[in-house]
Amino acid sequence: MIINEKKGLNMIRQRTFAEALEHRRTYYSISNDSPVLDEEIVHILRTAVKNVPSAFNSQTTRVVLLLGDEHRKLWDIVKNRLKERLPEERFKQTEQKIDGSFSCGYGTILFFEDQSIVAELQKSFPTYSENFPVWSQQTSAMHQLAIWTMLEDKGLGVSLQHYNPLIDKDVQHEWQLPDTWQLIAQMPFGTPTAEPGEKEVKELSERIKVFR
């Protein structure tokens, strides 16, 4: 939302979709509180999962919201797995990043794709068999963008992380999730405590072609 001052009064105007998309950024400085109630966050997830499109209306995306101790438990899992694999000095740097940018937040959203549906579609439509895993990833990406944009529009700072497949088995075991749910991304969020860094945008004329 956008707050404007007019004739001494605070005027609140909802951003347009284009404004919200333009405002979306990556926030690495977040705190463990939220400007909105948990129910509002759940509503955002339900809105995205219900309305974001998917190939063949397959609805393959699965979302898990972790708050409080469950959120911190996830990042302990990440650190434990990384500690097993990284040299001590490198792990210390990584641990500082995780503690200072991810686990310090209010919560984390986990994005999954249900591979049982993908496999069934491949069986039912063999002509497009190779495309269904790609379309599944595209579906997940659309959910990620929609949720990211809506969370930020409510005043939350968000980033997108990918510690899969390193943590996949631990996550499935800890939260008793189906084996067919493939972890795609992790989205930590919280109240921003600093502005995001500058975003470099490449020349649009090199990225967009218009033919009339």
- For the chain, the domains span 20-191
Q: Which of 190, 201, 200 minimizes the C-alpha distance to 27? A: 190
Q: How many Å apart are CA 32 and CA 25, to the nearest integer?
A: 19
Q: 141: exposed, middle or buried (C-beta count within 10 Å: 0-12, 13-18, 19+)?
A: middle
Classify domain 20-191 at the CATH class level.
alpha beta
CB 113 within 8 A of CB 137: yes
Q: pLDDT digits over 150-202, tens only?
A: 999 999 999 999 999 999 999 999 999 999 999 999 999 999 999 998 889 99
pTM for the structure as a whole: 0.92
Give the percent of the chain with pLDDT over 70: 94
Q: How many Å apart are CA 46 and CA 56, to the nearest integer?
A: 20
Q: Which of 34, 42, 81 minimizes the C-alpha distance to 64? A: 42
pLDDT of residue 9: 45
Token pair belonging to 203: 């020349």
Q: How many Å apart are CA 187 and CA 163, to the nearest integer?
A: 11
- Cβ-based neighbours of 184, under 8 Å, separated by 6 or more: 111, 112, 113, 137, 140, 144, 162, 164
- Cβ-based neighbours of 171, under 8 Å, separated by 6 or more: 74, 77, 110, 177, 183
Q: pLDDT digits over 73-83, tens only?
A: 999 999 999 99
pLDDT of residue 12: 65
Half-sphere exposure in the Cβ direction for 198 (13 Å, CA)? 3
Token pair belonging to 139: 């579906």
CB 71 within 8 A of CB 187: no
Determine the average pLDDT of the residues in 126-130. 97
